[in-house]
Amino acid sequence: MTNPQPTEPQWNGLRVVVAGLGVSGISAARVLHGLGARVTVVDGGSGAGLTARAAELETQGIAVRLGDGDSLPEGTELIVTSPGWAPSSPLFAAADAAGVPVWGDVELAWRLRRPLPATGEPATGEPAPWLAVTGTNGKTTTVQMLASILTAAGKRTAAVGNVGVSVLDAVLAEEPYDVLAVELSSYQLHWAPSLRPYAAAVLNLAPDHLDWHGSMEAYAADKGRIYEGNVVACVYNLADPATEALVREADVEEGCRAIGFGLGSPGPSNFGVVDGLLVDRAFVPDRAKNAAELGSVEDVNPPAPHNITNALAAAALARAYGVEPKAVREGLRAFRPDAHRIAEVAVVGEVTYIDDSKATNTHAAAASLAAYRPIVWIAGGLAKGATFDDLVQGAAGRLRAAVLIGEDRALIREALARHAPDVPVIEAAEGQTGAMAMTEVVRTAASLARPGDTVLLAPACASMDMFTNYGERGDLFAAAVRELADS
């Protein structure tokens, strides 16, 4: 059974406001203009970059208002917002008062999906099914694993949404996709009321973006929207009861099943690990007695515990779509993670150096710290309101030492003093930024490490106080490690 396409407005002449002049806003404006809508883009910002983008759109007949993102243009009939615009924005309060609906770019894409040609595949004649993934951490990796598995199964697919191909570009592609692996943030889900995936997964839930959502309850509720209307499977994390609670609250299609994944031996309707093998006891005949081998933990790159759970979630979604076990193994073997995600940089003096600069919050850092021991931990930066007691308490037994950096280092130092008082702590690169800072940090960490240890960059913080972004932070770490190896 598939979900019906929601009723569409008559686009020709419809007065639509696009909120935000970023990548998704520009894409939405062009698509809507092409449909015949009368489009106005609003953005509260200014500057040369925005002015240039505005000028380009205006040459195409799209109106742009810079420096005013709060007021609702007269006659507006629909708002399509970029994901980052918070629900508390005055523009949306004005829209609510005027009875104007607000969609995100994902909602627009969902409503503009095109039917597939009749090929005999699942959802024949319907728009390409969406296999959707959300969670606080691991979304991008899981979606990319899923796309690799689907490709190995011979499907035309792409990783889209909050990663890879624009979701609007994907649904409007001249050569249609068979199935889409869709990463969705809590922002995107908030503005996607009609979304009804074929199957979906929530990987985990931890406090994040609470300034945008207003509370943990609101954040979780927006994540849970991904399960609404699921057709085949709601995939949840057996180690995170909050994800199962979201499944229980969801209104799904009749026959849709709850499918759990975890690192233990799986029960019926679950995915798990048995003697180093990835196992499916959900999509097999007589699942009470039988299981399907999908591969081994060695097929997962890298085989860290949290990455194995990512692989199990991807496998569950692929199997929900009907992919054979062989393709799961082949897809996982072919997958290569993006940079700065628990990436081994080098082994120097029998010490392994790992770049997990993408671990920009405590939940991600905890997963990384759980993968190694003993660890010289490089941590710190901008805490974004986070606290570190639970993180340090959970990792204390794995720590050889800690090297702290960044503006909010004191928060981590204080947590270490409370929960790991015997762990040596050195604060490095005070007042420094960029390459010079990271060179000092790496050399300090090397002086604390012993043969067999891991020096782990898993900052649990954002990077912008010392580096351009987490990518630069990771690149400079890798460069400093290579410099150490050559010295």
Strands 270-274 and 277-280: antiparallel
Spatial strand order of the sheet with 180-183 comes to 159-161, 180-183, 130-134, 199-202, 233-237, 257-261, 270-274, 277-280, 292-296
Average pLDDT over residues 432-447: 96
Residue 298: per-residue pLDDT: 96
- Please determine, for residue 83, whether its predicted confidence score (pLDDT) is greater than 50: yes
Label residue 126 by pLDDT band (50, 70, 90): confident
State yes or no: pLDDT of 388 exceeds 70. yes
DSSP count for the chain of H helices, then E strands: 17, 20
Residues forming a β-bridge with 279: 272, 293
Look up the CATH architecture of domain 343-486.
Answer: Alpha-Beta Complex (3.90)
Between 161 and 389, whose confidence is greater?
389
Sheet holding 375-379, edge to edge: 343-348, 351-355, 454-457, 375-379, 399-404, 425-427
CA distance 311 to 454: 24
CATH annotation of 110-334: 3.40.1190.10
CA distance 189 to 177: 22
Angle at 171 between CA 166 and CA 176, to 5 degrees: 120
In sequence order, which residues have a C-beta less than 8 Å from that of residue 223 and are 6 or more positions away?
A: 134, 135, 186, 189, 202, 205, 246
Question: What pLDDT band is residue 98 in, cutting at 50, 70 and 90?
Answer: very high
Q: Where are the beta strands (DSSP E) in 112-254?
A: 130-134, 159-161, 180-183, 199-202, 233-237
Distance between CA atoms of residues 152 and 334, nearest Å: 8
User: Rounded to an integer, what distance in angstroms lies between the CA atom of residue 134 and that of residue 130?
Assistant: 13
For residue 453, pLDDT beyond 60: yes
Please tell us whether the domain made up of 15-100 is placed in CATH 1.10.1060.10.
no
> pLDDT digit string (tens) for 171-202?
999 899 999 999 999 889 999 999 999 999 99
Question: Tokens in use for 171?
Answer: 């649904």
- For residue 386, the cross-strand partners are none
pLDDT computed for residue 168 by the predictor? 92
Burial class (CB in 10 A: 0-12, 13-18, 19+), 324: middle
Q: Tell me the three state secondary structure of residue 260.
A: strand
Q: Which residue has the tokens 């973006």?
A: 209
What pLDDT is stored for residue 2 in this prediction? 47
pLDDT digits 0-9 by tens, 220-257: 999 999 999 999 999 999 999 999 999 999 999 999 99
- The whole-angstrom separation of Cα 133 and Cα 15 is 32
| pLDDT number for residue 381 | 96
Name the residue ranges covered by the structural domains of the chain.
15-100, 110-334, 343-486
CA dist., res. 387 & res. 411, Å (int): 7
Query: Torsions phi, psi of 261, nearest 5?
Result: -135, 150
Please give the pLDDT value at position 8.
66
In the chain, % of residues over pLDDT 70? 95
Measuring CA to CA, how many Å separate 124 from each of 2, 121, 180, 212?
10, 5, 14, 39
The predicted-structure confidence for 48-59, as pLDDT tens digits, reads as follows 889 999 999 999
Question: Which three-class secondary structure string do you get for 217-251?
Answer: HHHHHHHHHHHCCCCCEEEEECCCHHHHHHHHHCC
Alpha-carbon dihedral sign for residues 150, 155, 161, 162 = positive
pLDDT tens, position by position, 316-369 = 999 999 999 999 999 999 998 888 988 899 999 999 999 999 999 998 999 899
CA neighbor of 440 nearest in space, from 485, 398, 476:
476
Amino acid at 454: T
CA pair distance 454, 466, nearest whole angstrom: 23
When the pLDDT of each residue in the chain is averaged and rounded to a whole number, the result is: 92
pLDDT at position 1 is 37
CA-nearest of 358, 353, 362 to 340 is 358
pLDDT of 211: 67
What pTM value is reported for the model? 0.82
